[in-house]
Amino acid sequence: MKFIVDNMKCSGCTSAVQAKLQALEGVEGITIDLTTKTAEVQGRVDADLVIETLTEAGYPTELADQ
Ligand SMILES: [Cu+2]
């Protein structure tokens, strides 16, 4: 699943997002791209949970088109 993560501005942000995602149950892999502000998540994880978790952490998130 690919997400658009707003408000990621530096490597500190990507580290924070990475840590939040890693803490979620079912996540097997994470690829974060700061330049495109996207995060790709592998594993059996609920998209709504990802969106809620990152948005609450200060990074408004939505599901990417694909
Ligand atoms: Cu930052």
How far, in Å, is the centroid of ligand 1 from the Cα of 8? 6
> Given pLDDT bands bounded at 50, 70 and 90, which one contains residue 65?
confident
Strands 38-43 and 27-33, how do they pair? antiparallel
The total of structural domains in the chain comes to: 1
Q: At 46, list the tokens.
A: 């609920």
What is d(CA 20, CA 53) in angstroms, rounded to the nearest whole number?
A: 7
Q: pLDDT, tens digit, for every residue of 8-49?
A: 999 999 999 999 999 999 999 999 999 999 999 999 999 999
Domain with 50, as residue range(s), is: 2-63
Neighbouring residues of 32: CB distance < 8 A, sequence distance ≥ 6: 5, 8, 14, 17, 18, 38, 39, 40
How far, in Å, is the centroid of ligand 1 from the Cα of 9? 4
51: domain CATH number? 3.30.70.100
Q: At 16, list the tokens.
A: 């924070």
